[in-house]
Structure 1
Amino acid sequence: MTTASSPPTPPTGRGDNSDRKWTARPPLSRTAVARLVQLAGIFDLLGVLLPVGHRRFTVLLEFLPAAGILSARAATAAAGALLVYLGAGLRRGKHRAWQMAVVLAAAGIVLHLLKGFDVAAALVSAALLTLLIVRRDGFHAIPDPRSRWRALTALAGFAGTGFGLGFLEIAIRADRLRGTPGVRLWAEHAALGLVGVTGPIQFVHPRAATAVSFTTGTFGLLAVVAAAVLLLRPGARRVTRTEADDQQLRALLARYGGNDSLGYFALRTDKALIWAPSRKAAVAYRVVHGVSLAAGDPIGVESAWPQAIAGWLADSAAHGWTPAVLGCGATGGAAYKRSGLDILELGDEAIVDTGTFTLQGRPMRAVRQAVNRMQRAGYTCAVARQQDLEPDELAAVANAAERFRDGGVERGFSMALSRLGHPGDGDCLLVMARDGEGQLRGVLQFVPWGTDGLSLDLMRGDRTAENGLTELMVVTAIQSGADLGIRRVSLNFAVLRSVFARAEQLGAGPVLRLWHRLLRLGSRLWQIESLYRANAKYLPMWQPRYLCFPTARDLPRIALAALTAEAFLPAGHGAQPATTSVARTGSPDGPAAVSPVHARPALGGHR
């Protein structure tokens, strides 16, 4: 049985979830139920907008005060909005969404009768309740236990505030009450007002009673809605990787790490692991906004990939998460496709062959001039493995990298390690640039890519340095490859590179040119085109990277999760931030120069 490194639930789902298997599309019956629930919610909202017939309103007034009828209408509207919101959770099979829908459908029967004696609408709610009960076996996804406490906190907070305000309003109007009700009745009246029920206190002026009912009823609705939303928000698995997990992962990287330049980034501490039964392969992932987001190819022997992928997909199905893979290669993409995911090309990774790289020739003129300019200015670069540096030297590099960091936003997930100086990263290669006075002005960190490759991780530089610092450090790393036994260096990722490259060719069609214009427009925000050109000037080989996803309708949710994981959007509940050992990744060109998909620094010019 496949096991996960992070509790509380084993990835393939033991016990009640052991027979649950992931499918690219949810069962038709589950999708149909979700849509019917949303339609019922819209029906409730429309029903509130319609006026109550005078005759029925008169009959209701014999049994309920006007404030109670208004509260029932408001509660119906809130229930309708929640039913629409529940549709997404029901489609993913969330058991908690089903429970909430059952409660709302049952409450709808009563509310429709109270708000206007609407028998037809009450029958619709009864039919919906019956449907949910009959189809209850389709909603089994495991809830996030932490969301319960968030929901209870919101419920208690809003309810307590509403109770306090209602009690205070009664106290202020103590001289306008009929009779002499005590403080106990004041509290009872305020508490009943939270659920839309008229309390025992009678006011001299009806407006006072309406004001108290409005205050308490409003906060009662807010308490229920806020608690429901928090209860149903997608949760995240808290990562608790063990030392044995890390040791096994490093052993797999030592043997198979050369297969994927992103493999070493699986050692990020904010990534959980799903293992194949043989523990010869694993999928590294992180849950963000209800998306189980993996990055790169699975780690380990290729023959064990299907079992690791199956365990990861089963874990996603058990929790109601949407599985997605960010930046896998062709081999990994084929494995994920065989497991049922769809594939979309994201862009290309720039890889330089150190054996054939040269600064000679007209195509390398810009890079050659930048390097020569820096050398004439007295800049030099030193290359060393992290394990070969003295503790004081490493601390100085880490401090400089932190000092050079531009802004407070840390970007990176799929192509960033988010630490510098960790004891376990001794094989990481550091490039340190110094000016003519010996001051440290720039730092690059490369992580191992098997035994003969490097993968760019961190790039920091002093913005007051001469123009060309980045080119000097990158070229130094590439030219040092022969002495270090390095034959390939992965530099960066260019989003939708083929669009820019093909748009420059003769015969580019109108659709391609339009797509090119749109990307250039987007480059004003993310510098997509400049990132591509900054990579292209090193004349690299381009290897495509892919996005794997279940269905096209999941792409907006996956895009939100990816942008959050890469820190282009603020991380909220369900998106755990990356941890940092000594320093963090960043770009010397600032946040705008970072790829909007992968967070390696842009390789453009630097001042």
Structure 2
Amino acid sequence: MSTAVAFRGTLRGVAALRRLPLTLALAALLWLLGIATGSLLNGPSVDLLDQVGLGLAVEPGPWWSVFTSGFFASSLLDYVACTAAILLGVGIAERVMGPWLALAAFVAGSALSALVLVGLVTFGTDASDQWLSFLGGEYAVGAYGGAAAALGCSTAALDSLWRRRLRTWLLAATLMFALFVGVAQTLQALAGAVIGILAGWAIQSLALRRREGSFHSSSLRETRFLIGTVVGVFAVGPLLTQLTGTWEVGPLSVVSEVMLQASPDADEVQEACGNDRNCVTLQGIVGVQSFGAAILTLIPVLLLLVCAEGLRRGRRLAYRLTLVIQAYLAAVTVLSILQYVTDPEVTMGDDDFGYLLLYAVPAVLAPVIILTLLLGNRHKFRVESSDAGYRTLGRTSLTLAVAAVVLYIAFWFLEGNPGRSTLLDLAGQLTHILVPFPVPFVVALPQGLLSTVLYGLGGDIIWLCILVLVLNNFRRFRAIATDPAADLGHARELLHDGGGTLSWMTLWDNNQYWFTPDRRAGVAYQVHNGVALTVAGPIGATEHHGEAATGFLGHCSRLGLIPCFYSATDELDAALLPQGFRKLEVAEETLLNVQAMTFKGKDWQNVRTALNRADKLSIKDYWYHYRDMPPGIRAQLAEISEEWVADKALPEMGFTLGGLNELKDPEVLCCVAVDDDGLVHGVTSWLPVFSNSAISGWTLDFMRRRTTGFKGVMEFLIASAVTHFKEDVPSISLSGSPLANSGAGGDDGDHTSLDRVLALLGNALEPMYGFKSLAAFKSRFQPEHRTLYMYYPDPLALPAIGIAVGSAYLPGLSPTQSAGLLRQMVAKEPAA
């Protein structure tokens, strides 16, 4: 199966590439020229570079070099990187703008970015700038400027959300390479990105006559996104300089020295071990030259990336952690500079001052700028975790740290380290374990197996556990409702003013509530996987629903949640679609026009048969509120419900599917099929639908039948409801069948991933819950259909929303049940 899936994925990839002839042609031309000129392994020869490359340390070269330099690369690895840039940048541009415009953007971008690069080098040479006067070589070649320009220009044709995001990512990536690596190609890529984005803005404003689109609360969302991106770039940049350490010259390249743990070379380890062969071997296996040391180098990067994600979500914890980290990095950098400047053995010359201005000052300014940015926007990061989440994080982190300190001190003394090291060395070694960043002083290495193991791996274990705990903390929210009972009561009041056919489900357990400032309308929702999943649409008078929907978006934005309206009708189109939302069909609601139903004709044969059979068996329908039921009826309902649940491999579902507890609502009606012996054969429950304080309809919810009950009991109960409600309301709803037709349709093509998740979930649950057979059963009543939609803001959020929907319907899965459901979701055929 996995081979078939991989083969199908390969075929889809090949088919996608075949739709990009220009991109493939440019990539092929790059390689063909490299092969034809013998440039593939080590780049063009000097004679060829004189003709096709941009001269940096020499004359700029012939005029055509601004065009030809984009079709060569400096090495085999550079050819691979240029190919990736073309496939990404030109590929997206060709898909969005078409081949001819993409080609024009690539060629013009290559030429203009080359001219900018030459101008910068000329300026740097005249000003004796240590960076710009020498950018890693005498010539520059590469397709990066043209690819970045094509990608930046293509953003003009995207919708507002993707336009902002792609421009931000493009600028962030090229700026990171320019500042941390700093060779000529990175500056040309940055110039190409700026040129392309400016060209795209001009096309968007002048040719397409489109202004920058808006997204509700975009200021808050985009500010968080931008600051998170800045922190993420500052996290990845130092790692990039280590990976390209032989030729990076960027102004921030020295940041890696104060941020990432540096592994000592063989001579340093030999000296630290006093030429003890056993010590050197241990350090290579489990110490400072081991795999654990490489992991420890990645910890600061991972920690800052986790903080960047938390900042994007508006998390207060991520804000505090980032402040501490940036303040530490700034302080250590300043301390290192002072140490160097005040060293009596160092004589400061003009070159040294130039070096400090070029590399040391930016290394201090970078964390200071991030600190200023965070402090200036501190009010945008107020999303707190639950108190339990903070307690778990604090207790576990403290326990790990104390355990590491106690064990290390014990091993350190037991293995004879006091004779070789001092207590100051011990303190420094503990700092190495507890602080993931380099310490600004030299410490001796421990000797002995257990102390070396803990020295090399202790920090990894502690900080990887903390990272997992912090990520888990981001999933929790402090209780929003100050008075849940009052919120529930107000939600019930609003339901009497108005709501949809599914709105009574907002009173069920696990829901939170948000109300408009005037409290005339509200939204019920559940939080799963960072998604605020609503239960149907807004509640309250219909004229306030649009205001409630848009207001709820701002509420979610402040909390860093992804808003998602689930099982809502198209009444939300006017409020949500202009905000950039998309919609996906998730269910078909079945509506019965009870006043026009007579059960006559061939199409009603099944229903008439059920009514006749019930009459012969002396089975009658009785209508109760749960509190008014005879005790014997209640006991049998509990027995039938437990029998139904016990027959399922998974627990009873929730969210938009009620259980026995939901029957107990004083305003919910129950219809019970009982024979002359008092035996209950089946039961249905009906939720009220209000409009202007009067009942305007009823919605079917709870459906259970005794396994030994007469065949057709459900047809009998629904037919009884039609007769019972005919004189009071114009229509009733048989509700929707959740997950029964997920993926059946939609209004756009961006929801493929969620379609698959919902389809897999629906297929896995079908044998146990029978959603599709339930939908087929409801169709016997010749209903009218109304589509229920899921409104979502961002295609990138679809995987998270899919998981949230599954968690909402099955909130109490055990690990064993989760594993069984996962196996069923990926099985070729559903279980019987």
Name the CA shift for 1:345/1:131 in 2 (closer, same or farther; >3 Å). Answer: farther
Name the CA shift for 1:28/1:553 in 2 (closer, same or farther; >3 Å). Answer: same
Give 1:97's aligned amino acid.
Answer: A
| Map of 1:3 onto structure 2 | none
Instruction: For 1:421 and 1:523, locate their aligned partners in 2 and report how far apart those are by CA, in whole Å.
Output: 25
| Map of 1:603 onto structure 2 | none
Q: SS of the residue aligned with 1:144? A: coil
- 2:278 corresponds to 1:34: no
| Map of 2:217 onto structure 1 | 23
| Map of 1:213 onto structure 2 | 455
Instruction: For 2:606 and 2:669, locate their aligned partners in 1 and report how far apart those are by CA, in whole Å.
Output: 26
Question: Which of 484, 489, 513 is residue 273 of structure 1 equivalent to?
Answer: 513
Question: Which of 68, 74, 80 is residue 301 of structure 2 equivalent to?
Answer: 80
Name the CA shift for 1:414/1:141 in 2 (closer, same or farther; >3 Å). Answer: farther
| Map of 1:150 onto structure 2 | 392
Please say if residues 521 and 540 of structure 2, whose CA atoms lie closer than 8 Å, have aligned partners that are also in contact.
yes
TM-superposed CA distance for 1:121, in Å, is: 11
Give 1:213's aligned amino acid.
Answer: Y
Instruction: For 1:288 and 1:353, locate their aligned partners in 2 and report how far apart those are by CA, in whole Å.
Output: 36
For residues 36-86 of structure 1, give each alpha carbon's deviation from its aligned partner in whole angstroms, at most 9, with x where no partner exists: 544554555667778999996646876899645767643331222233344
Which structure dedicates a bigger proportion of its chain to helix? 2
- 2:642 corresponds to 1:400: no
Name the CA shift for 1:53/1:191 in 2 (closer, same or farther; >3 Å). Answer: closer
| Map of 1:479 onto structure 2 | 723
Please say if residues 94 and 143 of structure 1, whose CA atoms lie closer than 8 Å, have aligned partners that are also in contact.
yes
Q: SS of the residue aligned with 2:655? A: coil
Please say if residues 288 and 456 of structure 2, whose CA atoms lie closer than 8 Å, have aligned partners that are also in contact.
no
For residues 366-398 of structure 1, give each alpha carbon's deviation from its aligned partner in whole angstroms, at most 9, with x where no partner exists: 44445555665x372423130672462564255
Q: SS of the residue aligned with 1:480? A: helix
- 2:475 corresponds to 1:233: yes
Question: Which of 358, 363, 373 is residue 135 of structure 1 equivalent to?
Answer: 373
Please say if residues 514 and 524 of structure 2, whose CA atoms lie closer than 8 Å, have aligned partners that are also in contact.
yes
Any unmatched runs of 5+ in structure 1?
Answer: 1-20, 503-514, 573-590, 597-607
Instruction: For 1:202 and 1:53, locate their aligned partners in 2 and report how far apart those are by CA, in whole Å.
Output: 14
TM-superposed CA distance for 1:401, in Å, is: 4.9
| Map of 2:805 onto structure 1 | 562
| Map of 2:595 onto structure 1 | 355
Query: 1:404-553, aligned counterparts within 5 Å?
Result: 404-407=643-646, 409-414=651-656, 416=658, 419-420=661-662, 422=664, 425-434=665-674, 437-450=677-690, 451-482=695-726, 485-494=728-737, 524-527=763-766, 529-553=772-796
| Map of 1:89 onto structure 2 | 310
Task: Report the TM-score, using the length of structure 1 for normalisation.
Answer: 0.71
For residues 144-186 of structure 1, give each alpha carbon's deviation from its aligned partner in whole angstroms, at most 9, with x where no partner exists: 242322211221233344345545655xx83755559999999
Q: SS of the residue aligned with 2:299? A: helix
Please say if residues 158 and 222 of structure 1, whose CA atoms lie closer than 8 Å, have aligned partners that are also in contact.
no
Q: SS of the residue aligned with 1:316? A: helix
Query: 1:6-405, aligned counterparts within 5 Å?
Result: 22-23=216-217, 28=222, 30-43=224-237, 58=267, 67=287, 73-104=294-325, 129-136=367-374, 137-138=376-377, 140-145=380-385, 146=387, 147-163=389-405, 165-166=407-408, 169=411, 174=414, 179=419, 193-195=433-435, 206-235=448-477, 237-241=479-483, 243-257=485-499, 260-337=500-577, 341-369=581-609, 372=612, 378=617, 380-386=619-625, 389-390=628-629, 392=631, 395-396=634-635, 399-405=638-644
Name the CA shift for 1:517/1:239 in 2 (closer, same or farther; >3 Å). Answer: closer
TM-superposed CA distance for 1:479, in Å, is: 2.9
Instruction: For 2:529 and 2:759, locate their aligned partners in 1 and report how far apart those are by CA, in whole Å.
Output: 29
Give 1:474's aligned amino acid.
Answer: I
Instruction: For 1:130 and 1:524, locate their aligned partners in 2 and report how far apart those are by CA, in whole Å.
Output: 53
Please say if residues 79 and 108 of structure 1, whose CA atoms lie closer than 8 Å, have aligned partners that are also in contact.
no
Task: Report the TM-score, using the length of structure 2 for normalisation.
Answer: 0.54
Give 1:34's aligned amino acid.
Answer: G
For residues 413-441 of structure 1, give each alpha carbon's deviation from its aligned partner in whole angstroms, at most 9, with x where no partner exists: 2454772454xx32311122335643223
Q: SS of the residue aligned with 2:789? A: strand
Name the CA shift for 1:328/1:501 in 2 (closer, same or farther; >3 Å). Answer: closer
Please say if residues 349 and 492 of structure 1, whose CA atoms lie closer than 8 Å, have aligned partners that are also in contact.
yes
For residues 288-327 of structure 1, give each alpha carbon's deviation from its aligned partner in whole angstroms, at most 9, with x where no partner exists: 2322222222222233334434443332222222222111
TM-superposed CA distance for 1:223, in Å, is: 4.4
For the pair shown, the structure with the greater C-alpha radius of gyration is 2
- When structure 1 is superposed on structure 2, of 438-447 and 35-44 the one drifting more is 35-44
| Map of 1:15 onto structure 2 | none
Instruction: For 2:513 and 2:792, locate their aligned partners in 1 and report how far apart those are by CA, in whole Å.
Output: 19
TM-superposed CA distance for 1:32, in Å, is: 4.2
Instruction: For 1:521 and 1:459, locate their aligned partners in 2 and report how far apart those are by CA, in whole Å.
Output: 24
Name the CA shift for 1:93/1:524 in 2 (closer, same or farther; >3 Å). Answer: closer
Any unmatched runs of 5+ in structure 2?
Answer: 1-214, 246-260, 275-282, 337-355, 746-753, 826-832
Please say if residues 761 and 806 of structure 2, whose CA atoms lie closer than 8 Å, have aligned partners that are also in contact.
no
Instruction: For 1:201 and 1:517, locate their aligned partners in 2 and report how far apart those are by CA, in whole Å.
Output: 56
For residues 212-235 of structure 1, give each alpha carbon's deviation from its aligned partner in whole angstroms, at most 9, with x where no partner exists: 323533333234323432443342
Name the CA shift for 1:364/1:41 in 2 (closer, same or farther; >3 Å). Answer: farther
Please say if residues 445 and 457 of structure 1, whose CA atoms lie closer than 8 Å, have aligned partners that are also in contact.
yes
Name the CA shift for 1:64/1:342 in 2 (closer, same or farther; >3 Å). Answer: farther
Instruction: For 2:681 and 2:409, locate their aligned partners in 1 and report how far apart those are by CA, in whole Å.
Output: 64
TM-superposed CA distance for 1:284, in Å, is: 1.9
Name the CA shift for 1:237/1:309 in 2 (closer, same or farther; >3 Å). Answer: farther
TM-superposed CA distance for 1:541, in Å, is: 0.9
Q: SS of the residue aligned with 1:224? A: helix
- When structure 1 is superposed on structure 2, of 485-494 and 35-44 the one drifting more is 35-44
CA-atom RMSD, angstroms? 4.8
Give 2:723's aligned amino acid.
Answer: Q
Instruction: For 1:54 and 1:344, locate their aligned partners in 2 and report how far apart those are by CA, in whole Å.
Output: 52
Instruction: For 1:492 and 1:175, locate their aligned partners in 2 and report how far apart those are by CA, in whole Å.
Output: 72
Instruction: For 1:420 and 1:230, locate their aligned partners in 2 and report how far apart those are by CA, in whole Å.
Output: 31
Please say if residues 441 and 465 of structure 1, whose CA atoms lie closer than 8 Å, have aligned partners that are also in contact.
yes
Please say if residues 682 and 706 of structure 2, whose CA atoms lie closer than 8 Å, have aligned partners that are also in contact.
yes
Instruction: For 1:366 and 1:94, locate their aligned partners in 2 and report how far apart those are by CA, in whole Å.
Output: 57
- When structure 1 is superposed on structure 2, of 48-57 and 147-156 the one drifting more is 48-57
TM-superposed CA distance for 1:244, in Å, is: 4.6
Instruction: For 1:349 and 1:452, locate their aligned partners in 2 and report how far apart those are by CA, in whole Å.
Output: 17
Name the CA shift for 1:22/1:153 in 2 (closer, same or farther; >3 Å). Answer: farther
TM-superposed CA distance for 1:346, in Å, is: 2.5
Instruction: For 2:684 and 2:411, locate their aligned partners in 1 and report how far apart those are by CA, in whole Å.
Output: 64
Percent sequence identity is 21
Please say if residues 585 and 787 of structure 2, whose CA atoms lie closer than 8 Å, have aligned partners that are also in contact.
yes
Please say if residues 161 and 219 of structure 1, whose CA atoms lie closer than 8 Å, have aligned partners that are also in contact.
no
